[in-house]
Amino acid sequence: MKKVIAILAVVFGVTMNLNAQEVKTVALEQTKGEFTQKSLTLSEGTYIFEISNSNVGKDVGFVLTPKGKTSQENHIKEAYVTSLVKNNSKSTSKQVTLTKGEYTYFCPLNKTPEYTLIVE
């Protein structure tokens, strides 16, 4: 019985570790009126977006949408930062699973252009 419990514990630990490794962090920096990364290409998978506010002078956010669908009802809500990004600080999104296709990212608070994110 002890061996069975030990094997189950190892399998559970490996499974949890594999799941944790699947989530990748994408770091994006905002300066006044723009993101420093003008486009992104990612593989299908699960991501957390880490948004940096580099001396913008006001709070910023992050919006991710399918390409061509930038109205609020099409925003991928999980990609919103969990709290507004204060000047010279960082904030992250929840986990976002992206499938193949084209997306757009931008910040309406910092009035950035719309940038392209491609998932292959």
Q: What digits encode the pLDDT tens for the residues 59-103?
A: 999 999 999 999 999 999 999 999 999 999 999 999 999 999 999
Can you give the pLDDT at residue 47? 98
The structural domains of the chain, with segments of one domain joined by +, span 23-119
pLDDT at 53 over 90: yes
Residue 65 identity: T
Q: What's the residue count for the chain?
A: 120
Can you give the pLDDT at residue 75? 98
CA-only gyration radius of the chain, Å: 18
Cα–Cα distance for residue pair 97/76, rounded to 1 Å: 10
Q: Among 6-10, 42-46, 99-103, 114-118, name the one with the lowest average pLDDT.
A: 6-10
pLDDT at 22 over 70: yes
User: What's the fold here for domain 23-119?
Assistant: Immunoglobulin-like (2.60.40)
Q: What digits encode the pLDDT tens for the residues 1-21?
A: 555 455 545 545 545 544 555
The number of CA neighbours under 13 Å toward the Cβ of 68 is 2
Instruction: Give 100's strand partners.
Output: none
Cβ neighbours, 10 Å, residue 9: 10
Contact 37, 84 (CB under 8 A): no
